[in-house]
Amino acid sequence: MSGSPEDRAAAQVHAWAAELGFQGAGIARVAPPDPDGHLRAWLDRGYNAGLSYMAKKVADREDVDRLVPGAKSVVALAMSYRREGPEPEPPLKVSRYAMADDYHNMILKRSRRLGNRIKATWPGTTVKATVDTAPVLERAWAARAGVAWIGKSTMAISPRLGTYTFLSTLITTVAMTPDEPLPDRCGSCTRCLDACPTQAFPAPYVLDANKCITYWNVEHRGPFPEPPPELHGWVAGCDVCQQVCPWNKFGVLTEERRFTPHPDMVRPDPAVFADPAAHDALERTLLGTPLQRTGPDAVRRNARSILGR
């Protein structure tokens, strides 16, 4: 393998990532991921709603060197979770990401396997893997590493995979040749902004969680306020901005069998999702999916609100 040590390291990591099933991979040189202060401005406007954790460890999100001292590179990874099949339908709709097995542990294990290969090849180096639960701006790193650009819906858009992707990062002290960022290819398209049923985008590239359906039906804890938020049939998550994104017409489908939707999540049974007497059945339905973390009480709250019960 020719080239500089940084070139060889980058080529090797790209090859390993593909072997491990990541359909997108890129490398960024460590630098501030949010040099224009978009995160702090977003927090100052209160657009994080009840997501108080976003206001914590802001400095960590802005500087990965605080998580991995001496970090030189960030490897951004992406995996599609989209499969062919019907879109969610009323009366109760579940976002595609939540229909199948929980992605967190699976992708984290794959990322750590990649990290272990890095550590074995370059002894004495440090690697930290993250999957959207650590204070890391994964979408910003995906954009910086050339895996995707951040679209007007604030989703990471890959020209190869579309938006139905799970992202992961590896922060490492190994120096690697970075990939080139992608240009913003949204152009004049505003389909995602126009289609949002709650008008949750006060401007392109800005999401107000106070109006976001996914915030209310996944992240909000406890009873809904009065009047309750309009969920437009979404009992968990919301895919509207992704359903209308033209890039998803070309997106590569997932090859991961664990992203096969659970039948009970494709067509949620109102009798199970909304009836308090069916608590145990709902708990079994959510078992192993990302909604196990949300919990049956919150999911039932959503279903009853949608059904007017």
The CA distance from 220 to 261, in Å, is 24
The CA distance from 53 to 44, in Å, is 14
Q: Which positions ≥6 away from 145 have C-beta within 8 Å?
A: 26, 27, 28, 74, 75, 76, 178, 179, 181
In sequence order, what are the beta bridge partners of 172?
A: 73, 127
Helix/strand/coil percentages in the chain, nearest 5: 40, 15, 45
Task: Tell me, yes or no, if 65 is annotated catalytic.
Answer: no
The CA distance from 46 to 230, in Å, is 20
Classify 306 as helix, strand or coil.
Answer: helix
DSSP letter assigned to residue 156: E
Question: How long a stretch of residues is the chain?
Answer: 309
The CA distance from 129 to 134, in Å, is 9
* Candidate list 34, 60, 63, 132, residue with the active-site label: 132
Catalogue the active-site residues.
132
